[in-house]
Chain A
Amino acid sequence: MSAAGDSRVIWDSDDISRALKRIAHHILESNKGGDDLLLLGIRTRGVPLAHRLGAAIAQAEADVPVGELDITMYRDDLRRNPTRAVGPTRVPVSVDGRTVVLVDDVLFSGRTIAAAMEALKDLGRPKAIRLAVLIDRGRRELPIQADYVGKDLPTAPDEHVRVTLAETDGEDLVTIVSAKGA
């Protein structure tokens, strides 16, 4: 476990798997099955999470398409920073008429999700957009709420929630890192 300074491990791999399984069932329940669903992972860590959710849904019910969404060009702070690299957007089916579930690791200010909704609008007209996140750490700057949450984790402003995943970082962990101890 990486517990340097003031970092606290909140969840390990098993906790993450359980949460994703729960979210998968929740999605199927509220959608009344897997019809017309599309899971879109927000890059970077939303993508493996969306694939894991897709696998959990497939195990429980049926295959659903999974894609990835890069929101770099939709960020509202694009101009304030040096030019950012753009990642791929891969949407395997048309979003028109589907219930699109956006998937991300941490919900914080809500700006990433706002950008993702704008990006989605340029891809077509979904029937509905839902949001699934592994961790909701609060401190929203925009009126955005997740439909499916793995864990509510209220944090102080100087705390940072770090999600690492086997696919991107080598191990599954959710850690709170305090700025003082980071």
Chain B
Amino acid sequence: MRHLLSAADLSRDEVVSLLDVAEEMHEVQRRPIKKIPALRGRTIINMFFEDSTRTRSSFEIAGKWMSADTINVSGKGSSVSKGESLRDTMMTLDAMGVDCFVIRHGSSGAVAQAAGWVKAHVVNAGDGQHEHPTQALLDAYTMRRHFRDQRLAEGFAGKRIAIVGDLLHSRVVRSNVLLQRTLGGQVTLVAPPTLLPTGVERWGVNVTSDFDSVLERADVVMMLRVQRERMSGGFFPTAREYATDYGLTPQRLARLKPTAAIMHPGPMNRGVEISSEAADAASSRVLDQVSAGVAVRMSVLYHLLGGEGEAR
């Protein structure tokens, strides 16, 4: 693997290997001494041009637990805010001998472009409304463990995954759809018509605006955050009305299969897209997703940097 830019770049074997190694990394995470030397002497720069706590911390912890040197650069206070182009900033840091860039950027496609400017490996940590491949991987990891725990047949083939909410502004959904296409999960997207991305009919998944119609057959219900800033954007009338039509309310929770997993990439708006009853239910995997984030990112960094890569 040279870069991780899109969930679509990964073959089935690569995904399986990433998830398998993540299992072993999860074991490291549970040790009293959380440190392995796998990336000793490697340097990783986390470049976050958008605010993020969980993804940035998760990448930073992943790198540090594997003994890499990790450095954080934010958009604010960097040379980019003085007017230097992203290209020049990247090339300057690359010239210092960095091994890997982990980039979050507000513009869709910016990360893929940046990968063309540098010799180092590049990981997409979220670009605009485009993709967030490590989130999709950690979701897949969480689902796989859930299926195993629930003694549902292991693997994704034929599993029904409903992704519900603001699909228009979500990069998580795109990466999940692409990854599940590789893994064989059956994705149904659920959203009000105003929050459907254009061209969604070409994604090769089922799309509906009727949440209740998918509840009883879903193996996984993934709720997406309603971004508060969208509430005044005319995408839906009121938060209350949204919660009634698209929220995972206690009534909808009761209709889910007992083995169905409840997931949410966070941060959650309790009472809007997800009720507290659902967020805290026994079948909620929300905290497992957070914990899986570090293990999966360790696995990604190990796959990129652990062996002789094509980069420097």
Chain A residues with a Cβ under 8 A of chain B: 70, 73-74, 78-89, 118-119, 122-124
**A70 surroundings in chain B (CB, below 8 A):** 24
Asked if B20 and A85 sit within 8 Å, CB to CB, the answer is: yes
Chain B residues with a Cβ under 8 A of chain A: 1, 17, 20-21, 23-25, 27, 31-33, 35-38, 66, 302-303, 306-309
Given contacts A122-B35, A123-B33, contact A88 B308 (CB under 8 A): no
Asked if B24 and A123 sit within 8 Å, CB to CB, the answer is: no
**A81 surroundings in chain B (CB, below 8 A):** 307-308
Which residue of chain B has its CB nearest to the CB of A73? B38
Taken together as a complex, chains A and B put the C-alpha atoms of A123 and B35 apart, in Å, by 9
**B20 surroundings in chain A (CB, below 8 A):** 85-86
Taken together as a complex, chains A and B put the C-alpha atoms of A82 and B306 apart, in Å, by 8
**B66 surroundings in chain A (CB, below 8 A):** 73
Q: Give chain B nearest CB distance to A115 CB in angstroms.
A: 9
Given contacts A73-B306, A78-B306, contact A85 B17 (CB under 8 A): yes
14 contacts between A and B (CB under 8 A): A73-B66, A79-B308, A81-B308, A84-B306, A84-B307, A87-B24, A88-B23, A89-B24, A119-B36, A122-B33, A123-B31, A123-B33, A124-B32, A124-B33
Name, among B23, B24, B33, the residue most crowded by chain A CB atoms within 10 Å (CB to CB): B24
Which residue of chain A has its CB nearest to the CB of B67? A73
**B35 surroundings in chain A (CB, below 8 A):** 122
Asked if B38 and A78 sit within 8 Å, CB to CB, the answer is: yes
Given contacts A81-B308, A82-B308, A84-B307, contact A74 B37 (CB under 8 A): yes
Given contacts A86-B302, A88-B27, A123-B31, contact A73 B307 (CB under 8 A): no
Taken together as a complex, chains A and B put the C-alpha atoms of A52 and B30 apart, in Å, by 28
Q: Give chain A nearest CB distance to B44 CB in angstroms.
A: 15
Q: Give chain B nearest CB distance to A147 CB in angstroms.
A: 25
Taken together as a complex, chains A and B put the C-alpha atoms of A141 and B289 apart, in Å, by 44
Asked if B31 and A83 sit within 8 Å, CB to CB, the answer is: no
Taken together as a complex, chains A and B put the C-alpha atoms of A68 and B302 apart, in Å, by 21
In order of increasing CB-CB distance, the 3 nearest A-B pairs are: A83-B307, A73-B38, A86-B24
Q: How many residue pairs, one in A and one in B, have C-beta atoms under 8 Å apart?
A: 53
Taken together as a complex, chains A and B put the C-alpha atoms of A4 and B307 apart, in Å, by 34
**A88 surroundings in chain B (CB, below 8 A):** 23-24, 27
**B38 surroundings in chain A (CB, below 8 A):** 73-74, 78
**B306 surroundings in chain A (CB, below 8 A):** 73, 78-79, 83-84
**B17 surroundings in chain A (CB, below 8 A):** 85
Please name 12 further chain A to chain B contacts, defined as beta carbons within 8 Å, in addition to the given A73-B36, A89-B27, A123-B31, sorted by A numbering: A73-B38, A74-B38, A78-B306, A81-B308, A84-B306, A85-B20, A88-B27, A119-B36, A122-B31, A122-B35, A123-B33, A124-B33
Taken together as a complex, chains A and B put the C-alpha atoms of A78 and B35 apart, in Å, by 16
Given contacts A122-B31, A122-B36, contact A79 B24 (CB under 8 A): no
Taken together as a complex, chains A and B put the C-alpha atoms of A107 and B27 apart, in Å, by 27
Given contacts A86-B24, A122-B31, contact A73 B37 (CB under 8 A): yes
Given contacts A89-B27, A123-B31, contact A83 B36 (CB under 8 A): no
Taken together as a complex, chains A and B put the C-alpha atoms of A81 and B24 apart, in Å, by 20
Asked if A118 and B37 sit within 8 Å, CB to CB, the answer is: yes
Taken together as a complex, chains A and B put the C-alpha atoms of A70 and B25 apart, in Å, by 12
**A122 surroundings in chain B (CB, below 8 A):** 31, 33, 35-36
Taken together as a complex, chains A and B put the C-alpha atoms of A95 and B36 apart, in Å, by 17
Asked if A82 and B37 sit within 8 Å, CB to CB, the answer is: no
**A79 surroundings in chain B (CB, below 8 A):** 306-308
